[in-house]
Chain A
Amino acid sequence: MTENNIVLKMEKITKQFPGVLALDSVSIDLKKGEVLGILGENGAGKSTLIKILAGNYIKDSGEIFIDGEKFEINNPGEAMASGIRVIYQELNTLNNLTVAENIFIGEQLVKTGLKIVDWKSMVKKSKIILESLNVDLNPKAVMEDLSVSEKQVVEIAKALSKEAKILVMDEPTAALSEDDTKSLFRIICTLKEKGVSIIYISHRLKEIFEITDRVTVLRDGKKVKTLVTAETNTNELVSLMVGRDIKEMYPKREVPITETVMEVKGLIAEGVNNISFNLKRGEILGVFGLLGSGRTSLVKALFGANPIKSGEIFIKGKKVSIKSPRRARDSKIGLVPLDRKMEGLALALGVKENITLANINDLGRGFLINKKTEALKAEKWADSLNIRTPSINTEVNSLSGGNQQKVVLARWLESGSEIIILNEPTRGIDVGAKIEIYKLMQDLCEKGAAIIMISSELPEILSIADRIIVMSKGRFTDQYTKNEATEEKLLSAACL
């Protein structure tokens, strides 16, 4: 292959954020008409790299070449002008406009001579674009009536409404069923044939093998290797991704599973439809589901943050009514929420204050806080969970993701929780911290806790959970023991 074939070259891109070196001298190149996979754990630097390409972040150093010419991308407009289109995981469609309006948003077609929007030609051109993608979609349909995958198609069409040289897709299948994924792949093939180069970001290995020509693996902000997809295999990619052996990455101990501590019968709440399950002491129950499957709604309902419409919850055989997180806490349930910055931590407060947040009442007799008692409690957990912080008075804001997660966990240990719900516990934290969290979870199980772990990371849930329940559209669709479960089974159950 000659140099001329290279559409995009990013060389030695470095980007520093406060406290984190997000990208450390990363280089990639992209050939005309190829699909380049970028693979990496959460926090490996994939999104940062893409945001630099899209002009959302400015690189600290490094160079970008497009068609061999050096390019400075300082804002999204410049990226657009050089033919770069990005489709993000969160869809940016305007739901009360039509398909055609969304496709041409920001650059509506105008009748020549008049400053009037030319609706007819917008609809006509939308039709042409959609047809070229081999999809059957009415340009006059209103967005909110479309399914998630159809909305995604509109996003792609929007990206193609102006000539696109490079199309970046950031986790496009996170919310898609298997059929939808297949039709997305068909569209990608169509685009490839037209000479569009595609960067495809995912952490689903199966897809990487199916669609990409080459794959670049990132880890902790560094490029590990670029491989030709056909010449590699799952094991090699995983070990490149996590930087160590799978067994080492997901340590799993045998913990005795004893009596049932929690029983849920026919739970119905917003986004949750008739869910029943039980949870035993010492067990890690995995809940797997795609975006929008109702997994987070389930967590909120169990924790009293979403009102329960019907159904019963028994804890240690006793029926409980969990009307608020306060009741959940008093029933010895703890929650490590999905978004630790928005839901988990009071970022501007110290480590100490965050650890004791759920148990302010125990910080001294009567009305006042006994600062000594509080410091002792915080120190105890900082030590036993190995929370790395300069002091317990340090703002949690300045801690790394893994340590922040431990602070949230410490809060529930301090409150004596026996049932701990973890929603995506390892999202956005580095590999070392992940391993620590996994070990910690199993330590807790050993001490008699029961854990519900919601996760969308397949290797994680497959290795850590003792039992896996799969959710789709607010229902449980299937249930597997650790030994039965495979990646394929979970994914197909998640799309039921």
Chain B
Amino acid sequence: MAETRLQESNKERKKVGISNTLMLFIVLVIMIAFFGITSQIKFGQQFFFSILNIIPMLSNISYIGIIACILTMLLITGEMDFSIGGNIGLTSCLAALLLSKGINGVLVVLICLAVGILMGVFNGFIVTRLGVNSIIATIGTMSIWRGIGYTLSNGESMLAFNPVIDYLGRGTIFKYIPFPIILFIIVIILTYIIMNRSKIGRRIYAIGVNPMASYLSGTNVKGIKFLLFIFCGAAASLGGLILTSLSAVGMPQHGQGLELTVVSAVILGGTALSGGKGQILGTLAGVLILSILYNGLTMLNIMYFYIQIIRGIVLILVVATYEIRQSRALRRV
């Protein structure tokens, strides 16, 4: 086993990204098998592998996944957006408020996405034009967005029932497949194509690997980062709308702490915080691992505190494995 792996990685030395992703999917499969089997043993019944579990779980993570895919692109350029959680809170309150004023559902969705884009523009402006470090800038805007959310909602949660909004999170296609999962899949495919096949994807990677060399080769580094901040803003508000739909409630607390969940999933997927490295499929695996871990452990009646500990250990283990593999690959050159 170890030997074949060694041979594999010798052959694939240049493509550390792909084989790391492969590793993640193997971990994922092992995890799924483990939860399936233990659930069977413990309860004598298959709770984990049932449509009743898998489908709601996937719709619950679809909004995280959508944001994670887009954030992966931004992280690859070496920038960060922590304001996504605040964006979700604001969007969800805004949507509920507009609905309560009797505004048409489609219009509400469009307004919220436009506001999301504006939030992205604001982040992009602060980071690329004023030159503020993106971590600091977006921690700042995170607080601003959430504060506006509290102001809009007066701190209360507001019911948000509307056919259009309902469909966004709870509608189904072909009777069984929830609409947010479809959205998630579309985003995965789009971002995958962008990052692996497109011109802008190439520029994103090059910026992450060496911003100076990219700039001196005529790449509009700031422009691309700006664009990705806008994408992030739009993705977060789409996520906020889905979450509003899933909970049927607009509340300023929505998305609290979500930025860390999303960032951990992206990092787990093999994206480097320093930029230049990352794969959309890796992020997909990261999102699935973290949420299946929660789902499976909760299924097994494991206390939340232990789940937190296990999550942390998994994150560190996986990232440490990347580092070890990386340094081995370097030593072999």
Contact = CB atoms under 8 A, between A and B. Distances in A.
Interface of B: 14, 193, 197-200, 202-203, 205-206, 209-210, 212-220, 276-277, 330, 333
A305 B215 contact: yes
14 contacts: A18-B333, A303-B216, A326-B220, A328-B218, A337-B216, A345-B210, A346-B214, A347-B210, A360-B219, A363-B199, A367-B199, A369-B202, A395-B14, A415-B218
Contacts of B333: 18-19, 397-398
Contact of B218 (A325, A345, A349, A363): A325
B202 A360 contact: yes
Contact of B216 (A344, A360, A393): A344
Interface in A329-372: 329-330, 335, 337, 342-350, 353, 357-358, 360-361, 363-364, 367-369
A411 interface: yes
Nearest to A358: B217
Contacts of A349: 205-206, 209
Given A326-B218, A343-B212, A395-B14, A348 B198 contact: no
A326 B224 CA distance: 13
B273 to A, nearest CB: 15
B209 to A, nearest CB: 4
Given A346-B209, A349-B205, A353-B206, A358 B198 contact: no
A42 interface: no
Given A303-B216, A305-B216, A360 B205 contact: no
Sort chain A's interface into a size bin. 35 or more
A342 B212 CA distance: 7
Nearest to A300: B216
Contacts of B220: 324, 326
Given A326-B218, A398-B333, A343 B198 contact: no
A105 B130 CA distance: 37
A369 B216 contact: no
Contacts of B14: 350, 393-395
For chain B, what secondary structure do more than half of its interface residues adopt (helix, strand, loop), or is it mixed?
Answer: helix
A353 B202 contact: yes
Contact of A360 (B193, B199, B210, B212): B199
B197 A369 contact: yes
Interface string A366-407: 011100000000000000000000000111011000000000
Contacts of B205: 346, 349, 353
A344 B217 CA distance: 8
A335 B216 contact: yes
A87 to B, nearest CB: 29
For B209, B213, B276, the residue with the greatest tally of chain A CB atoms inside 10 Å of its CB is: B213
Given A19-B333, A344-B213, A345-B213, 4 more contacts: A328-B218, A346-B214, A358-B218, A367-B199
